[in-house]
Amino acid sequence: MNYNYRLLIVSIFSIVILFSSNSTTLAIQPKILISKDETPLNQIKTDIIKSIDASKNVNIIYPRSSNPVIVENGGNFTIYFQSESFENISVYISTAYEPIVDEIELDISNIQEINGTWHVAVNLPLSTPKELYNITITIEENGRISSNSNPRAVSVRDEISDNFSFIHLSDFHIGDPRGLKENIKETIGWKAAKKCIEEINLINPDFLIITGDLVFGQMYPFEYSLEYKKCYEILQTFQVPTYLIPGNHDGYIQCGQDGFKLWQKYFGPLYYSFDYGDHHFTCVNSYDWPKICRFGISFLVFNWGGCIQEDQLEWIEKDLKNNNAELNFICLHHNPIWDTKDDSLLKNEYKGREELLSLIEYYGIDAVFAGHEHYDNITNQNDTIYITTTTASSNVGEDAYWGYRLIEIKNSQITSYNYKEPYYSIPSYRLNHSYEDFNVAAVKNDLEMDLTAHLKFLLPLRNYRIENGEILLERESDDKVEIYVSANIKKESEETITLY
């Protein structure tokens, strides 16, 4: 069978998978939150998320699910949105995709318009529970009311400290057929990507960073329209704040479709930065080629290696210069310590990488997080740790597997980034949980590490005690209570958590 014929078969098979994949709604998976009566799960308030197409009258630029704000209880932050003029405005947050919804109105302390964008400073009440929230803005002008929401855009913490953890995930690859040769069953319906989400929700880090290649964009005409929508829906099932960075597969130009235009529609800016307390993250678009260099015809693309143009390099330097963080991180798709001229039919070198390496050394960047290679690697160079993490669901390189990486920070020091030495990330499909009854859950940890698992229960409204765990939060409605719990699970063991 010749190569082109094999590609045709894979393309047709992948299109069938895309159109036959189930669950296009944004409800929480029953494995994450279960009830004997599943009706509440089917009535989660997805209607507050009107559409990914922003309202004509209210367009929330920040925060959003792909670039959320993490704020302490009782703290404050600034919202950026565009709209026509208005007489009145209100802002509230609501629990994201939960069967019991809390709505909390925020106090507005300042409003100003700068270059056509409204900046609204808001304050959180001290009583705001630790949770991931949607944000909604409502404006009124001459009796006409307009409203818009961004899902999973605000994460409230009791405290933002120097001790935290986050997960580095890369090469998510929704729509990519290449995982078929690794595991056909787990590639169909993007089960491998969804399994990573399930496990990361169970681990419940403070946040998550995905460094590119969220979609595939390299098979059939107009596939970006389907893949970006499906990817957005799948990402909504994350129960932790999620920061996204583009890769080469996200930005090809195919059949008149520019992947980066859809990225900006669904996820926002191509590069930006954020802070977690005194720790700074610079998120870089390393597929910053001019349009002509991003052109492709199905599987044939001319450049899939790295490029950072001068204007973005200037922004990176300004961003690094203007912060005084305890730790500085750079997150991008293409690792700058390696040239990528072999990732180009024209043998184009990784443009801008030498300049980026100079900035990394000059500003003393502590760690750089990258993907693209589909395998794990750790390289220490000039006091910077360059961390490459494997793919979640595509084909893998030698000595690699599907997985994700847990990073732990203690007292503003990087204390852990390897699951196993010398460079391996956490393999997926080694952490599982199930609900044996509405009040009983079992967690099986086949990893060679202890961990704390986080689960949710939806139960009749009563007082409960827990066996083999700790109750973290309870949210009540008229007749039900949603209970968040944590449980310590030893390595290579199984634990049953019961609520009485």
- Residue-by-residue DSSP string for 438-497: TTEEEEEE-SSS-EEEEEEEEEESS---EESSEEEEEEE-SSEEEEEEEEEE-TTEEEEE
- Is 188 in a helix, a strand, or coil? helix
Is residue 457 over pLDDT 70? yes
Quote the CA–CA distance of 247 and 169 in Å, as a whole number.
13
- The answer to whether 172 touches 231, Cβ cutoff 8 Å, is yes
Contacts of 361 (CB under 8 A, 6+ apart): 382, 384
Closest CA to 220 of 294, 299, 304: 299
What b/e sequence results for 260-275 when a residue is b if at least 16 CB atoms lie within 10 Å of its CB, and e otherwise? bebbeebbbbbbbbbe
21 pLDDT band, cuts 50/70/90, is very low
Nearest to 219, CA basis, from 305, 297, 303: 297
Selected residue with higher pLDDT from 319 and 23: 319
Q: What is the maximum alpha-carbon separation in the chain?
A: 68
pLDDT at 94: 98
**Reading across the β-sheet that carries 384-388, which strands appear in turn?**
272-276, 279-283, 327-331, 367-370, 384-388, 377-381
Compute the distance between CA of residue 367 and CA of residue 357 in angstroms, rounded to an integer: 12
**Residue entry with tokens 């895309």:** 18
pLDDT of 77 higher than 70: yes
- Assigned superfamily of 164-427: Metallo-dependent phosphatases (3.60.21.10)
Which backbone phi and psi does 103 adopt, to 5 degrees?
Answer: -115, 125
User: How far apart, in whole angstroms, are the C-alpha atoms of residue 129 and residue 157?
Assistant: 8
Q: Are the CB atoms for 205 and 245 separated by under 8 Å?
A: no
**Predicted confidence band at 55 (pLDDT cuts at 50, 70, 90)?**
low
Indicate whether 52 pLDDT > 90: no
**Which residue do the tokens 């929230």 mark?**
133
- Report the half-sphere exposure of 348 (CA within 13 A, side-chain side): 20
Tens-place pLDDT, residues 131-190: 999 999 999 999 999 999 999 999 999 999 999 999 999 999 999 999 999 999 999 999
Pairing label, strands 207-211, 242-245 = parallel
Q: How many CB atoms lie within 10 A of CB 42?
A: 9
C-alpha 220/C-alpha 198 separation (Å) is 30
CA distance 63 to 80: 7
CA distance 233 to 25: 7
458-464 long-range Cβ contacts below 8 angstroms, 24+ apart: 458/33, 458/34, 458/35, 458/40, 458/41, 458/99, 458/100, 458/482, 458/483, 459/35, 459/483, 459/499, 464/439, 464/499, 464/500
Instruction: Of 394, 497, 411, 499, give the one whose Cα is nearest residue 454.
Output: 497
DSSP code for 348 = -
Give the chain's mean pLDDT.
90
Q: Are 231 and 197 in contact (CB under 8 A)?
A: no
- Asked if residue 241 has a cis previous peptide bond (ω within 30° of 0), the answer is no
Residue 393: the pLDDT is 97
Angle between helices 191-203 and 223-235 (to 10 degrees): 30
With a pLDDT cut of 90, the percent of the chain lying above it is 86
User: What is the C-alpha to C-alpha distance for residues 295 and 258, in angstroms, rounded to an integer?
Assistant: 9
- Domain parsing of the chain, residue ranges: 45-157, 164-427, 432-499
Least confident of 42-56, 255-269, 287-301, 414-428: 42-56
Give the range among 8-22, 209-223, 343-357 with minimum mean pLDDT. Answer: 8-22
* pLDDT value at 33 more than 60: no
First and final CA of the chain: distance in angstroms?
Answer: 61
* Burial class of residue 43 (count of CB atoms within 10 Å of its CB; 0-12, 13-18, 19+): exposed
Please name which of 390, 387, 382, 375 lies closest in space to residue 417, comparing C-alpha atoms. Answer: 387
The predicted pLDDT at position 165 comes to 98
3-class state of residue 4 by DSSP? helix
Residue 15 pLDDT grade (very low, low, confident, very high; cuts 50, 70, 90): very low
Count Cα atoms within 13 angstroms, Cβ side, for 456: 26
pLDDT tens digit sequence for 475-500:
999 999 999 999 999 999 999 999 99
Whether residue 54 is predicted with pLDDT greater than 50 in this model: the reply is no
Per CATH, the homologous superfamily of domain 45-157 is: Immunoglobulins (2.60.40.10)
Other CB atoms within 10 Å distance of the CB of residue 466: 17
Residue 16 clears pLDDT 80, i.e. is over it: no
pLDDT (tens digit, 9 = 90+) per residue, 99-130? 999 999 999 999 999 999 999 999 999 999 99
Q: Tell me the pLDDT tens digit for each residue of 354-396.
A: 999 999 999 999 999 999 999 999 999 999 999 999 999 999 9
The mean pLDDT of 240-261, rounded to a whole number, is 97
